[in-house]
Amino acid sequence: MVIAEVPSFRLLIGFCLVGFGFSFKGPEMPLVCLTDFQAHAREHLSKSTWDFIEGGADDCCTRDENMAAFKKSGLPIRLRPRYLKDVSKVDMQTTIQGAEISTPICIAPTGFHRLAWPDGEMSTARAAQAASICYITSTYASCSLEDIVAAAPRGLRWFQLYVHPNRQINKQLIQKVESLGFKALVITVDVPKVGNRRHDITNQVNLMKNLWLKDLGSPETGNSMPYFQMSPIDPSICWEDLSWFQSMTRLPIILKGILTKEDAELAVKHNVHGIIVSNHGGRQLDEVPASIDALTEVVAAVKGKVEVYLDGGIRTGNDVLKALALGAKCVFVGRPILWGLAYKGEHGVKEVLDILKNEFHTSMTLTGCRSVAEINQDLIQFSRL
Ligand SMILES: Cc1cc2nc3c(=O)[nH]c(=O)nc-3n(C[C@H](O)[C@H](O)[C@H](O)COP(=O)(O)O)c2cc1C
């Protein structure tokens, strides 16, 4: 008897393995949560690509804490549901920087999508457009900005800028993204130097050189990225420089990577339009707080003057609900999008987004929230273990 061809027997084995703490997914079993996509990506991506996507800095304390803090760190965040409200209609729509999105779950900037799927960022853009959410395109996109826009011309896009040491190049790029219809400029502030990612060092992934040659093809093969997108990052940028960027563009400027009340206050003082509370998915300075733990401090500091968003460790609908209850206007998701891409390109990203959106709908319904405006701090309690 060939065991693999008898579905009921396989199911039985599956249940037994799950019961003993093993995860078993045959090819016919659907991926039902974001960590299923993670497991699939681990199996199917090359080791260096998997390590590049998954890696955190140093001991990966912050990367892991980003997830754990939603569930089971010192004071776990628990939900306080309210019942007997009419939740026959639950509306997840909201706005960011005045633009409507179908749900407060958007796509964080991550580089090099063609490592995960041949169409790379074009697939991501299509999935974001179909879902009516915002996609922040990275400076390190592996498709040209023109191709990304052409792939999803109606999508809401923001552009993430790593500031180049040459001002003229920044100016040209900002003008280009503005003319291509990007709706905000997201300046990443937490990379004056790339964090110490041990796996990448072991695998000799050098974003400026080896990745270009090894994974995306060399210029000679005609499969290369534009020079600028491999460009260096200016470590000398400081608060006073923001006015120069503001003079360059009419786009709202959003700072990504703020973790403290001091920097949040400075951001408001320097007239930025938004803040993304983020520790870069634990890939920069290790042993900073989980994003969700830094959120409250930043929200309190800005006193409602600018929108605050969060990324880092969002894996379930409850995570989204908790971030919104603690003051985020919207969350952004990083690695799970790459897992979705690695699974089935645009359709894989769509599946990841659908699952998260459906989970968030369930979270809202079961806590008695009929609209995003009804999500507030009363839904949260911090419990001792
Ligand atoms: C593979 C990878 C590449 C990334 N590239 C960028 C980038 O180009 N620019 C940037 O601002 N952040 C980048 N990030 C950080 C993400 O925008 C985001 O902060 C982080 O992934 C959120 O955590 P999560 O992966 O747990 O959702 C990258 C993250 C990963 C995992």
Instruction: Concatenate the DSSP letters of all residues of 335-356 into one string.
Output: HHHHHHHHHHHHHHHHHHHHHH
What residues contact residue 152 under an 8 Å CB cut-off, 6+ apart?
Answer: 122, 125, 126, 128, 129, 135
**Residue ranges of the binding site for glyoxylate:** 162, 197, 280, 283
Ligand 1 atom 14 nearest Cα = 110
Mean pLDDT score, 182-192: 98
Give 73's pLDDT tier (boundaries 50, 70, 90): low
The predicted model scores a pTM of 0.90
Give 215's pLDDT tier (boundaries 50, 70, 90): very low
Which residues on neighbouring strands pair with residue 79, listed in sequence order? 380
Confidence check: pLDDT of 211 > 70: no
**202 membership: H or E segment, kind and range:** helix 198-202
Give the C-alpha separation, 150 to 158, whole Å: 15
Confidence check: pLDDT of 13 > 60: no
Give 217's pLDDT tier (boundaries 50, 70, 90): very low
Q: Please, what CATH class does the domain formed by 34-382 belong to?
A: alpha beta
The percent of residues in the chain predicted with pLDDT above 70, rounded, is 85
Confidence check: pLDDT of 175 > 70: yes
Ligand 1 atom 13 nearest Cα = 110
Whether 103 contacts 133, CB under 8 Å: yes
Please tell me whether residue 80 adopts helix, strand or coil conformation.
coil
**Domain-wise residue ranges, the chain:** 34-382
Confidence check: pLDDT of 379 > 90: yes
The residue among 331, 330, 262 whose CA lies nearest residue 302 is: 262
Choose the weakest-confidence range: 154-158, 159-163, 209-213, 370-374: 209-213
**Residue matched to tokens 């892991």:** 64
> 199, 270, 280, 347: which is the annotated catalytic residue?
280
Output the pLDDT for position 355.
98
113 is catalytic: no
Name residues contacting ligand 1 (CB within 6 A). Answer: 52-53, 66, 108-111, 138, 140, 160, 188, 256, 278, 280-281, 283, 311-314, 333-335
Output the pLDDT for position 219.
46
Output the pLDDT for position 74.
67
Output the pLDDT for position 6.
32
How are beta strands 105-107 and 99-101 bridged, if at all? unpaired
Identify the residue with better confidence: 191 or 13: 191
Output the pLDDT for position 209.
56
Ligand 1 atom with the smallest distance to the CA of 335 is 25
Confidence check: pLDDT of 314 > 80: yes
| Torsion sign over Cα 55, 56, 58, 59 | negative
Output the pLDDT for position 229.
43
Ligand 1 atom with the smallest distance to the CA of 190 is 11
Output the pLDDT for position 329.
98
